[in-house]
Structures are given as C-alpha cells and as structure tokens.
Structure 1
Amino acid sequence: MLVTGIELLKKANEEGYAVGAFNTNNLEITQAIVEAAEEMKSPAIIQVSEGGLKYAGIETISAIVRTLATKASVPIALHLDHGTDFNNVMKCLRNGWTSVMMDASKLPLEKNIEVTKNVVTIAHGMGVSVEAEIGKIGGTEDNVTVDEREAAMTDPDEAYKFAKETGVDYLAISIGTAHGPYKGEPKLDFDRLKKIKEMLKMPIVLHGASGVPEADIRKAVSLGVNKINIDTDIRQAFAARLRELLKEDEEVYDPRKILGPCKEAMKEVVKSKMRMFGSEGRA
C-alpha cells in the first residue's frame, strides 16, 4: 500500500525503530526493495534522487514505484531524496510522490527556513510529508557535493528553530556521516544526536549510512534516528554480483539471467538493513 512518509515515521518515532529509505533508479531496484519489505513484513521508503529523476524520467519512475507499492502488502512511501530544485519538488508533487525533501541546506539558515516553509505549505496542502536538512552531509550524491573537511555539524539550537518555524515533518541532521563510500571509519557525534532528539522530539533522518558500522547504526536508532538512507550499499551489491555473473559466463546475454541474480543480491542487502534498523515485523 502507498502511504505518506509521516505515516511510517510517526509510528517509528513512537516505537523506537528506523525505516529504511532505499534509493531506486529502475524496475529491478524497486522490485528488490518491495520484495524485501514484503518478506520482512517491514515498512519501507523508496526514494529517488534528482539524478534518478533525470535517469529514469519522472513519470516512468513514478509509475514503477507507485504500481509496485500500491500492490504491496506492506506500507511503502515514495520519497524525493535531496530535492535541491524547487521545480523538481513541484513536479514530484504533481506526479504522485507521498513524501518530498527540500534540501536548501547550502543556503544561510534564514533562507533555508524561508524556502522550506514554502514547500511545507504547498506539500501539506496536498497531503504530502516533507523532509528538510540542516547542516551539511559530507561526500557526493548526484548533484549535492560537500567536502568532508568542510562538512558542518548540525547545531541543536538552529535545528530547533528550523523545525519550529518551518513545520517540517522530519529532519535530516549532520552528525558525521558522508555520502558515497567511506575512506575511513566514520565517527558519529552521538551526544549531538541525543541532544537534538531531546529538543525536537520528532523523526530524525540519517543520510550517508551505507558503510557505517552496524553497532553505530543500532546506537543511532536507539537515540532517536527514525529514517536511514541507503544507496551505495545497494549499488555495490548490484555491481559485485554483475561482475561475478559475467566472469562465470561470458556468453550470457539474456537480461533476465543477468538482472535477476543482481536483483536478489540487492534484496539481501535491503533485508539486512531492515533487520539492523529494527523495522522487521513492523508493517
């Protein structure tokens, strides 16, 4: 069933677990996420970045996700990940997204508040949930790039002001994670996370979670993270299985025989994340 993001994250916030938000770009990734969710009896968020919109086409990827989600036996939300372009956010609202992210985190705080508040007003009027970001997440994801050395941790007081003035439904904060593969082991600021959660008492989002040690993920969930974004791990599982298949059989050419096993590899990654986040059996 297709639901809004806040329907999933309100329950997660109340019961103390996190919902995985998994990026998709095509049919096979979407199938892997939905099948994993059904097997794990877990809610899921399927998200598309602006790069994903450009790659697949907004109407095409909307049709794929909405069709599979509507037929699913578990609740699934369709989310725009890192919407830096206001026009893209509006296009997603018009094409059936049930959750959108307005990422104006590169702007000064007051301008970020202004832009986000405007999106919240429009989206809420359409019954759609909104995520925003304050602070900067290191690394690169599509057209969003932040140098790790320049990544700014989220200030708790600013986060409180931002949440109060925008009316946003869930907030992505920076506590030391990064987009893309890690060059070393990430050092998460759990004290900062705890303080922000205690002040805001709302669903908190962790970006750049691929590659973060399981113990750190579980601790972050215990301290109030309710939405965790996963993209790189899924891509790497796909690529690794693809290389194996082509090495095992250089004559294979049927896309079904290639993409089918790759889908299964991605599904196993998604299922492992659902166990880790505590969302198994929560549908």
Structure 2
Amino acid sequence: MPLTTTGELVAAARAGGHGVAAFNVITLEHAEAVAAGAEAAGAPAVLQVSENAVRFHGGRLAPLAAAAAAVARASSAQLSLHLDHVVSADLLRSAHGLGFSSVMFDASKQSYADNVKTTAEAVRWAHEHAMWIEAELGKVGGKEGEAPLDAHAPGVRTDPAEAVAYVTDTGVDALAVAVGSSHAMTERTAALDHDLIARLRAAIAVPLVLHGSSGVPDGELRRAVAAGMVKINVGTALNTAFTAAVRGHLDAHPDVVDPRKYLAVGRDAMAGTVRRFLGVVGG
C-alpha cells in the first residue's frame, strides 16, 4: 500500500492508548523483515534509517531509502519511512523527496542553548517541507562512538520543566526522552523510571519517544506505553536476532557459500523479533 506518514501512525497510537514501534533498517533484509513482521502482527510500523546506516552505505541515502520505500509500498501493512539520529543538516535536507515523512534531528550532544537553536532551525526547515520532526532532550547513552553512560547517573534523565521550555522554544512534533534506557543493549535489563514518564507526559503536549528499547524487558515496555510513551525505537534487537541466526546456520552448515541461504534465516529471525515487539507495544 502507499507509504503512510510517521505523524499519522504516532497520532493514531496515541489516540488509541498504545504504542507504535520503529525499527532501524541497515540492509534490504532489515526492511523486508520489518514488513513481514508487521504483516504477521497485523500492526503498523516505522522503518528507520539512521545517519550511521547512511555512513555504512558510503554516505549515500538514496539507494537504501529507495529500497526501504519500495518494500513498504509492496507491503499490506501500514508503514512509514523515518530518518533517524541525524546530526548533519545536509543529510536532513537530502531526505526531502525520498519518501521520508519524518526525521529525528539529534543535537543532544550540544549544550542546552545550542541544542535549542540548532533544533529550532531544523524544525523550521522540516515544517516548510511537510516533515514531522522528533528531537532528543537528556542523555540516552550507548550511541556509536560514545563511552558507556549510566542511564541512572545524576543529570542524565530528562527534566520535565526543561522539556516544557524545550518543546515550546523548538516547536518539535515529538520528544525522545532519557528515562532509564540506553542504546545498543544486548541484554534486556533496563529499568525505566515510570514516574518520570508519567510526569513528562503530563507536562508536555507532544508525543514521547523511547530510544534504546532493545534493552527494555517486555513488562517494562508495556508499563512505559501505559505511562505515556508512544513511539518505541528498536534497533539492536534486530541485529542480535539476525547475527545469532546467521551464526547458527553457518555453524551447522559450514559448506554453505550462497549468502541467500543464511540471509534468509537471518531475515526470518528479525521478522519474528519485529512481530514480538509489535505485540508488546501495540494495541
């Protein structure tokens, strides 16, 4: 079916009192797995392409975007295309016309004042081009190139009063907040601050986004959605499933040289992971 927009999916999830999961896409197999998992779950989903994934593909956004968009359009599930964790203003602007309806502009490493200024500029551009835009306030650790960050260290979590000012001054459509999760976790041991989630939900008008959801147990995710989280980002869990399945297949079949044999196994594993997360956060 035609691509839907991330804004529509998030608004529908929020109105329905449930979440919508967004999955990071690195390869064509990732995109196919998201579509297959969403179809199996009977649920919508967001396909996300991060700046890191673009860098992996030689800095070229268009080929991966075209592949992901084609997979989404061929699917019977409601799917949107989102550009994730963008630091480069040039990359942000290159998304226009490639099927992306939304972008997460990440100025969270900057000082608060610079974060506001840079994000407000990105918001103006995005809204002029009919794109929904997400930003981050607080410190969700585990990003590529960063030292490990204690998700419970003082000053890491998002402050509700600061979030109110940030949303007002930037005009963002959604806010990724630091509430106890971390990127790139391979074990599901994160403990979220559900009271903080509820206070953030009460304080600001825009939907809340949870990054680093791969490391959050199912029960914690359900509570987070009930407390006010709407867009739930998942990346590492797909890669963990893919790698384990491929490694297991190659260990069991050491003579295999046709990549289709083990890529299919990895793709199926990712599709199963997508289906499970959609069942956890969906309505």
Return the match for 1:213 from 214, 217, 220. 217
Return the match for 1:61 from 64, 70, 73. 64
**Paired residues for 1:241-256 under 5 Å:** 241-256=245-260
Paired residue for 1:139? 142
Output the CA distance in 1 between the equivalents of 2:155 and 2:169: 24
Q: Is the 8 A contact 1:103 1:132 kept in 2?
A: yes
| Structure 1 spans left out of the alignment, 5+ residues | none
Q: TM-score, normalised by structure 1?
A: 0.93
Structure 1 residue 12: Cα displacement: 0.9
Does residue 22 of the first structure (1) align with residue 23 of the second (2)?
yes
Paired residue for 2:47? 46
SS across alignment from 2:191: coil
Q: Is the 8 A contact 1:170 1:205 kept in 2?
A: yes
Q: TM-score, normalised by structure 2?
A: 0.93
Paired residue for 2:6? 5
Paired residue for 2:105? 102
Q: Which runs of 4+ in 1 moved over 6 A?
A: none
Q: Is the 8 A contact 2:186 2:236 kept in 1?
A: no
SS across alignment from 2:215: coil
What is the one-letter code of the residue matched to 1:37?
A
Moved more, 60-69 or 93-102: 93-102
Q: Is the 8 A contact 1:134 1:174 kept in 2?
A: yes
Structure 1 residue 96: Cα displacement: 3.0
Structure 1 residue 98: Cα displacement: 1.2
SS across alignment from 2:68: helix
**Paired residues for 1:1-283 under 5 Å:** 1-56=2-57, 57-140=60-143, 142-143=144-145, 147-148=149-150, 149=153, 152-181=156-185, 185-279=189-283
Structure 1 residue 187: Cα displacement: 2.5
Offset from partner CA, 1:233-259 (integer Å, 9 cap, x none): 110101111111111111111111111
Q: Is the 8 A contact 1:137 1:146 kept in 2?
A: no
Offset from partner CA, 1:152-181 (integer Å, 9 cap, x none): 100101111111222211110001111112
What is the one-letter code of the residue matched to 1:15?
G
Same amino acid, percent of matched pairs: 35
| Structure 2 spans left out of the alignment, 5+ residues | none
Q: Is the 8 A contact 1:13 1:202 kept in 2?
A: no
SS across alignment from 1:77: strand
Change (3 A) 1:67 1:186: same
Q: Is the 8 A contact 1:120 1:168 kept in 2?
A: yes
Change (3 A) 1:126 1:144: farther
Q: How many residues align?
A: 278
Structure 1 residue 73: Cα displacement: 2.1
Q: CA RMSD in A?
A: 1.7
Change (3 A) 1:27 1:132: same
SS across alignment from 1:17: coil
Structure 1 residue 184: Cα displacement: 8.1
Change (3 A) 1:111 1:94: farther
Q: Is the 8 A contact 2:188 2:215 kept in 1?
A: no
Structure 1 residue 72: Cα displacement: 2.1
SS across alignment from 1:245: helix
What is the one-letter code of the residue matched to 1:86?
A
Q: Is the 8 A contact 1:138 1:151 kept in 2?
A: no
Output the CA distance in 1 between the equivalents of 2:183 and 2:218: 17
Output the CA distance in 2 between the equivalents of 1:181 and 1:98: 28
Q: Is the 8 A contact 1:51 1:143 kept in 2?
A: no
